[in-house]
């Protein structure tokens, strides 16, 4: 019997039109957007469905929008596969918040509020200092660590054995890219992001998030949720809260998280939310794993057929 995990999309996966057909097809998905709109004070579904992309991409809109769309994907899946059980949950950065909500650690409304504020805090930290990120392919970790030390940047995301993202001051990131190329990287790609996410340049955002979370109640998770910070399952509510603050400035240990799920017996993954990035990364980490992605009604139909096969 296959053991399944559900994983949730991170920031950058957004597109105009996301969530629209799910909200039209499933009343419970429409209700999620309505609840989020009441929290945010504007029609979130309209923004997701119609854009413009510039407004949808703003972090304080984008983070709650991807969260709600991802929960809608999961809700539609549960509608079609009522007995679905997950051995574990995970998400990439923002997606970890979705996993925590699905696991029962946080209410839907609290998660929307937190992500609206988190996005604002991160954007304002970006405005304070010009930062950047670059994806490096095909360079061993030992070499990347030398590059980071020499350029004065950080490892932000360990996405797969072949793909690692660096983050830091914009000028230093340019230097790091050149050093990585000189060290033998197969490919480097500067990322179109607002700043240096998952680096010390986000310290003010982390401090503000910690203050906000002090007034939020977390509950124990009903299913293991893998932490981006440690690559291991979260513990008690206090440690979850602390880890989610650290996540803002820490490296995303995606490879370690997928490896933990593999050791736990997971052989099949369902990605919920816009895009198909996580399914691709998982296949690079665990070549024997099966992975399906759900972002709309068409992909839901395909995923349900695959899960029932």
Does residue 129 register a pLDDT over 80?
Answer: yes
Catalytic residue among 70, 93, 199, 293: 93
Domain boundaries in the chain?
4-127+200-308, 130-190
Of 101, 135, 198, 250, which residue is the catalytic one?
198
- Which residues are CB-contacts of 11 (< 8 A; sequence separation ≥ 6)? 59, 62, 63, 66, 93, 94
| Mean pLDDT in residue range 185-208 | 94
| Residue 262 · residue 59 · CB < 8 Å | no
Span 76-85, mean pLDDT? Answer: 92
Where does the pLDDT of residue 212 fall: very low under 50, low under 70, confident under 90, or very high at 90 and above?
very high
What pTM does this model have? 0.95
pLDDT per residue as tens digits for the range 25-71 = 999 999 999 999 999 999 999 999 999 999 998 899 999 999 999 99
d(CA 151, CA 275): 32
CATH topology assigned to domain 4-127+200-308 = Malonyl-Coenzyme A Acyl Carrier Protein; domain 2 (3.40.366)
Q: What pLDDT is recorded for position 1?
A: 44
Report percent pLDDT > 70 for the chain.
Answer: 99
Per-residue pLDDT reduced to its tens digit, 166-176? 999 999 999 99
Which residues fall within 8 angstroms of residue 13, CB to CB, at 6 or more apart? Answer: 66, 273, 274, 275, 277
Write out pLDDT tens, residues 258-279. 999 999 999 999 999 999 999 9
CB contact set of 251 (below 8 Å; sequence gap of 6+): 154, 155, 156, 157, 158, 198
pLDDT attached to residue 265: 95
Architecture per CATH, domain 130-190, reads as 2-Layer Sandwich (3.30)
Average of per-residue pLDDT across 217-222: 95
pLDDT of residue 308: 86
pLDDT value, residue 248? 97
Q: What is the pLDDT of residue 2?
A: 63
Predicted local confidence at residue 170, as pLDDT: 94
22's tokens? 């799910």
> Active site includes 234?
no
pLDDT tens-digit profile of 132-167?
Answer: 999 999 999 999 999 999 999 999 999 999 999 999
Write the pLDDT tens digit of every residue in 278-287.
Answer: 999 999 999 9
Q: Catalytic residue at 198?
A: yes
Measure the CA–CA gap between 185 and 143, rounded to whole angstroms: 9
């Amino acid at each position: 019997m296959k053991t399944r995990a559900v994983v949730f999309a991170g920031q950058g996966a957004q597109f105009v039109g996301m969530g629209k057909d799910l909200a039209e097809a499933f009343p419970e998905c429409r209700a999620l957007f309505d609840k989020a709109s009441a929290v945010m004070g504007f029609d979130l579904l309209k923004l997701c469905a119609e854009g413009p992309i510039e407004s949808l991409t703003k972090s304080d809109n984008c983070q709650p929008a991807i969260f709600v769309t991802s929960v809608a994907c999961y809700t539609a899946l549960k509608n079609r596969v009522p007995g679905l059980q997950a051995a574990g949950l995970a998400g990439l950065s923002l997606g970890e918040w979705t996993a925590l909500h699905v696991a029962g650690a946080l209410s839907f409304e609290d998660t929307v509020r937190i992500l609206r504020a988190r996005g604002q805090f991160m954007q304002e930290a970006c405005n304070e200092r010009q930062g950047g990120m670059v994806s490096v392919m095909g360079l061993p970790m030992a070499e990347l660590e030398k590059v980071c030390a020499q350029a004065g940047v950080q490892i932000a995301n360990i996405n797969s054995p072949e793909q690692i993202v660096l983050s830091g001051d914009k000028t230093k990131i340019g230097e790091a890219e050149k050093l990585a190329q000189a060290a033998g990287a197969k490919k480097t790609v500067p990322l179109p992001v607002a700043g240096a996410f998952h680096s010390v340049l986000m310290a003010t955002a982390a401090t503000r998030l910690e203050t906000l979370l002090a007034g939020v109640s977390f509950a124990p998770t009903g299913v293991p949720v893998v932490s981006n910070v440690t690559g291991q399952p979260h513990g008690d509510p206090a440690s979850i809260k602390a880890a989610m603050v650290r996540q803002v400035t820490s490296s995303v240990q995606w490879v370690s998280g997928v490896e933990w799920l593999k050791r736990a017996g997971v052989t099949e993954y369902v990605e919920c939310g816009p895009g198909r990035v996580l399914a691709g990364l998982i296949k690079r980490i665990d070549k024997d794993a099966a992975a399906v992605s759900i972002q709309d009604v068409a992909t839901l139909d395909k995923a349900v057929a695959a899960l029932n096969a």
